[in-house]
Structure 1
């Protein structure tokens, strides 16, 4: 189907990117300026800011139940954008739809913090959550990791790191249009060519947007950076991979799903027609796309 008309309308209003190199400080400020006030956000039973060790987290409790399963969420933003605030609405929607307590992670970002600082923070919070389950009100069942875009990179890498460490408590991984191959040669996947221009995230922008991360020491050949480079995907948690029809990174997510299945891992891949990269963050107010949260909840219930 064609690009969803509401998405097309929004993209048509975007100004051209400013000339010159990317300015992380200015781009973050512009992103934060779009965050709605707390009064306008989806209400939940409780939302509190805390720290997991030294890592800032925001904990979302959906209802009054005494215990819950846990979902650890990593926001997207090309490893240098995004925050607890810019993705607050995503975490709220996940908590509401799944009934899980969501722990959103304010990991360290490039370029101020070199690889693997952000990944280390994400993994540390998962281990912290498992170790502090009683105080968090964890019911001892679901311990899922989830992320969108570069947050999906972290979710996949955390699941693999945990497996390698013999930490077997992660029950699910949820990857929304994940960035799984940071080798951005446009010849690698058809979607890099088919969706190169006109859909928000453009293929030519992938290298400059990820340059802060790669220049900080993240090697695209390292499976912690490009999870699709991992030779053996066996033994990883069941995966839900959500892709968007008009996303340059669509095909790497779908290939990862096939490789997981080939390795004997339960993997569900859902392509959202008419959607572009970032639709969970930017366009989940569209009913056709808001159902991603219900489908996530169904996956988390069915793959446990």
Structure 2
């Protein structure tokens, strides 16, 4: 299937901005510039997210004494002592924030009827690997410990995220499976939107969609240069979960990849890897779309809402 026409028109505008010198690829910017531009993109990609959602600011303590800002989202349909999605934003561990993915959390809560807890894990290069992994684990433990007080069900925690955030979610799923009660939390499911799964090699989709499809191959390298202090850490399973020595059955997984995403093939490979380990997997390839489609409700007319609803339908089937 060809690119969605709305998305194709948007990408043409992006390319025009580069050709006229009004914008640069992320990997040619400073970290500060890239973060600022990524934040501003949220206003363009989805300028009118649902507003009838209660948003509560929170603070999550970490193992090293830091406190992570977080937000708890509750759409009107959320039940007291109901399920909760622990959501990690994308951005290659370098960009992204609570603000850049505010619309995603609002729309997820609206579509699913689940509360959504979004922690602002710390970013590189100020906080390199494994800081984000530790922050994700600490957030999951804190949520499990405080669920009842927050009006949430600790038995129905779903780890979710997009891009690098999806990687953090699936790392939590593996930790929960390997450590059991010692993990400090349990998961009912995991929802992975275009996850980053293998930094060690270049997949065919990364070559085919290396430029011109929002996320670019050189940008991925730029992310890893800031996130990792040595090249060899790309083969660490906490960076590349597809390289884990073994994969026990994990919480049921919803895996969604985009057709025109450089990460598509590693996402497909990871879904197969989970299945071989005994994890129930529901795999979707979103035709005509690129990376970051969750944030594009203002670009793709009517198309993104169906993707939220598809994930919500799967979650309802999990009970």
TM-score by length of 2: 0.88
Matching residue of 1:80:
94
* Pairing 1:278–2:292 present: yes
Closer/same/farther in 2, CA of residues 13 and 227 from structure 1, 3 Å limit: same
Structure 2 Cα separation of the partners of residues 94 and 129 of structure 1:
18
Contact preservation (8 Å) 2:157, 2:188: yes
Match of 1:95 among 93, 103, 109: 109
Q: Secondary structure at the match of 1:225?
A: coil
Give 1:52 deviation, angstroms: 1.6
Instruction: State the Cα deviation string for residues 86-132 of structure 1 (Å, max 9, x = none).
Output: 10000000001111110011000000112111111111111111111
Contact preservation (8 Å) 1:91, 1:102: yes
Matching residue of 1:155:
169
Closer/same/farther in 2, CA of residues 103 and 261 from structure 1, 3 Å limit: same
**Which deviates more from structure 2 when the two are superposed, residues 63-72 or residues 254-263?**
63-72
Contact preservation (8 Å) 1:176, 1:242: yes
Instruction: State the Cα deviation string for residues 37-58 of structure 1 (Å, max 9, x = none).
Output: 9x94412341011112222110
* Pairing 1:247–2:261 present: yes
Matching residue of 1:61:
74
* Pairing 1:196–2:203 present: no
Q: How many aligned residue pairs are there?
A: 301
Closer/same/farther in 2, CA of residues 262 and 113 from structure 1, 3 Å limit: same
Contact preservation (8 Å) 2:26, 2:34: no
Contact preservation (8 Å) 2:143, 2:154: no
Structure 2 Cα separation of the partners of residues 113 and 57 of structure 1:
18
Closer/same/farther in 2, CA of residues 280 and 262 from structure 1, 3 Å limit: same
Contact preservation (8 Å) 1:79, 1:110: yes
Closer/same/farther in 2, CA of residues 7 and 135 from structure 1, 3 Å limit: same
**Which deviates more from structure 2 when the two are superposed, residues 116-125 or residues 202-211?**
202-211
Gaps of 5+ in 2: 19-23, 62-66
Structure 1 Cα separation of the partners of residues 215 and 28 of structure 2:
17
Give 1:303 deviation, angstroms: 2.5
Gaps of 5+ in 1: none
Closer/same/farther in 2, CA of residues 197 and 226 from structure 1, 3 Å limit: same
Contact preservation (8 Å) 1:115, 1:216: no
Contact preservation (8 Å) 1:114, 1:216: no
Question: Runs ≥4 in structure 1, deviation > 6 angstroms?
Answer: none
Match of 1:131 among 145, 151, 169: 145
Give 1:73 deviation, angstroms: 0.2
Closer/same/farther in 2, CA of residues 43 and 276 from structure 1, 3 Å limit: same
Give 1:22 deviation, angstroms: 3.1
* Pairing 1:260–2:260 present: no
Closer/same/farther in 2, CA of residues 160 and 8 from structure 1, 3 Å limit: same
Structure 2 Cα separation of the partners of residues 303 and 116 of structure 1:
31
Structure 2 Cα separation of the partners of residues 196 and 18 of structure 1:
12
